[in-house]
Amino acid sequence: MHALLELADVTADVLARIKARAPRVHCITNTVAQAYTANVLLAAGAVPSMTISPEEIAAFAGGADALLVNLGTFDAERRAAIDLALGAVGQGGQGPKPWVLDPVFIERSPARAELARALLGRGPTVVRLNAREFAALADEEAGGDAVARLAAARKVVVALTGEVDRVSDGARAAKIANGDAMMGLVTGMGCAGSALVAAALTVENDAFIAAIAALVALGVAGEVAAEGASAPGRFASWIIDALYNLDRATLRARTRVS
């Protein structure tokens, strides 16, 4: 694996490759987060699409380079769309296209948690979630060992985000100390982070590294934004701009992965 010390450069490389290749990321996501997620992807250089229509989602997902499956605004139409999209990307990650599972708010709804567990069995490349969602999915509290256990048991890269992000593929583990508390005050930020992981997966085959790169990029962008915008309204725009302008020198100065 890459030494953790090199991760600033790895992140810069991943961002450069996204800008160069303009990968298509199809997002099945909630209506609350759609516009913000699309704008984060555009700022990073990816091309978002968002339809969930059963008549055309297979065409969109099949033509995309990666897929995001976010469970926010869970409903029957959404579940059908997920099925069709996973079919189109290669039956749950067994095919060539990566996909990210974001089990939003599963701690609030048993029906949603059940769907998340079923989807975890279909082989997402990465699952990104917060501590409450982790506890609902893994039946144990979040923490470094628990993250590695879930990753090993389900053969998935787990990306747990919070004050410190934890990423593990079961064999390897990383802690990311980047980010800013303001990120929790912008709706859709977690969803947008998951979409950025999906974009990173299109240019970096090592999913553990891709997840770290995406979370480092968003976290460092958050830190840069917070220096100019100290309240969440303007911060929401500034972090997009910081991501758009993120350069290697800034990443080298700020990346904190251990």
Binding site for its own copies (CB under 8 A): 30-36, 38-39, 42-43, 48-56, 59-60, 63, 72-78, 105, 108-112, 184-188, 231-234, 236-241, 244-245
Question: Nearest distance from residue 112's CB to its own copies, in Å?
Answer: 6
**Nearest alpha carbon to residue 86 among 63, 69, 103:** 69
Give the residue with the Cβ less far from its own copies, 51 or 175.
Answer: 51
Residue 145 CA to residue 222 CA, distance in Å, equals 27
Provide the minimum distance between the beta carbon of 78 and its own copies in the complex, in angstroms, as a whole number: 8
Complex with its own copies: residue 111 or 153, whichever CB lies closer: 111
Report, in Å, the least distance between residue 190 CB and its own copies. Answer: 12
Q: Shortest approach of its own copies to residue 218 CB, angstroms?
A: 13
CA dihedral 203, 194, 44, 47 (to 10 degrees): 80
- Partnered with residue 37 across adjacent β-strands are none
Q: Which of 81, 72, 65 is nearest to 26 (CA)?
A: 65
Cβ proximity to its own copies, 38 vs 174, nearer residue? 38
Nearer to its own copies, 100 or 240 (CB): 240
Angle at 58 between CA 112 and CA 39, to 5 degrees: 70
